């Protein structure tokens, strides 16, 4: 029986609170476990040596949601809505993207994760989609009191894309909890999924003909695995790719 792959799961960090904590929503850990992987939290507080050791031992990676990325990383000044910026988390996750890309390790990037992936590869972000570029779609459903596991808007996925293959669908309903989004795509990334307002909801590595698993989604599939087969497929194929 093949061993269960180790999936490195990045964690959030409390900002301006005492005691400081590293934390991650249980839904990410459960989604990885239910797909057959072993989640290994990777907190921002790790020293470089420990961080590199974990990077080397993990078979695949999951970049999770959370606070905003410092816009200095893509040469912009901060928007007034910026919140929970934590340089240690930025440094760890940006480095992780480069390690995963260079080592061809499977990587799934969720919400903030797709933004980190994009910036690490030289792309930029809309810092507040409500004002730039502006939208009538509610991308922060929690402001309307909607549960995290309730889909609230449709997404269309480009037919023939790797993401469409992984999801097993070209149209789906997703949950939405973000105020930032991919603007200019990073080098090697191709936008392949879009909300009705044409904000990018999914990216993949440019060569879709390979079996490389490097995907980013703007929604939160970890919250949908109990109800949505596309969400289960996303984590299942991350784990499958990490076994290889």
Is residue 99 in some structural domain? yes
Is residue 213 in some structural domain? yes
Query: For residue 110, what is the domain's CATH number?
Result: 3.40.50.880
Which one, of 82, 88, 89, lies nearest residue 63 by Cα? 89
Q: Which of 93, 201, 204, 222 is catalytic?
A: 222
Q: Which of 93, 111, 178, 223 is catalytic?
A: 111
| Catalytic annotation present for 139 | no
Which one, of 64, 109, 73, 69, lies nearest residue 86 by Cα? 69
In this prediction, residue 139 carries a pLDDT of: 85
Is residue 215 in some structural domain? yes
In this prediction, residue 209 carries a pLDDT of: 56
Is residue 174 in some structural domain? yes
In this prediction, residue 32 carries a pLDDT of: 98
Alpha-carbon distance values, 176 to 105, 122, 142, 195, 238 (Å):
27, 24, 8, 10, 21
Is residue 135 in some structural domain? yes
| Catalytic annotation present for 165 | no
Is residue 17 in some structural domain? yes
pLDDT < 70: residue spans in the chain: 1, 208-209
Is residue 169 in some structural domain? yes
Query: Could you give the number of structural domains in the chain?
Result: 1
Q: Which residue range forms the structural domain that includes residue 20?
A: 6-243
Is residue 181 in some structural domain? yes
| Catalytic annotation present for 222 | yes
Return d(Cα 149, Cα 226) in angstroms, integer. Answer: 9
């Amino acid at each position: 029986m093949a061993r269960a792959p180790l999936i490195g799961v990045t964690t959030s960090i409390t900002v301006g609170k005492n005691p400081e904590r590293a934390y991650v929503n249980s839904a990410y850990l459960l989604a990885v476990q239910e797909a057959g992987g072993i989640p290994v939290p990777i907190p921002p507080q790790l020293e470089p040596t420990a961080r590199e050791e974990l990077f080397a031992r993990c078979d695949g990676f999951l970049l999770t949601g959370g606070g905003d990325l410092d816009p200095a990383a893509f040469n912009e000044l901060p928007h007034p809505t910026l919140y929970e910026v934590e340089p240690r988390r930025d440094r760890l996750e940006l480095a992780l993207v480069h390690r995963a890309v260079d080592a061809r390790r499977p990587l799934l990037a969720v919400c903030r994760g797709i933004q980190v992936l994009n910036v690490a590869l030289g792309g930029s972000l809309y810092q507040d989609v409500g004002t730039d570029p502006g939208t009538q779609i509610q991308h922060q459903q929690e402001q309307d009191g909607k549960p995290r596991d309730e889909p609230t808007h449709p997404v269309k996925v480009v037919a023939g894309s790797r993401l469409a293959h992984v999801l097993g669908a070209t149209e789906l309903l997703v949950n939405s909890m973000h105020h930032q989004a991919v603007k200019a795509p990073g080098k090697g990334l191709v936008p392949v999924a879009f909300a009705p307002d044409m904000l990018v909801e999914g990216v993949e590595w440019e060569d879709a003909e390979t079996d490389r698993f490097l995907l980013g989604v703007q929604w939160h599939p970890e919250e949908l695995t109990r109800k949505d087969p596309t969400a289960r497929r996303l984590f299942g194929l991350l784990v499958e790719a990490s076994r290889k």
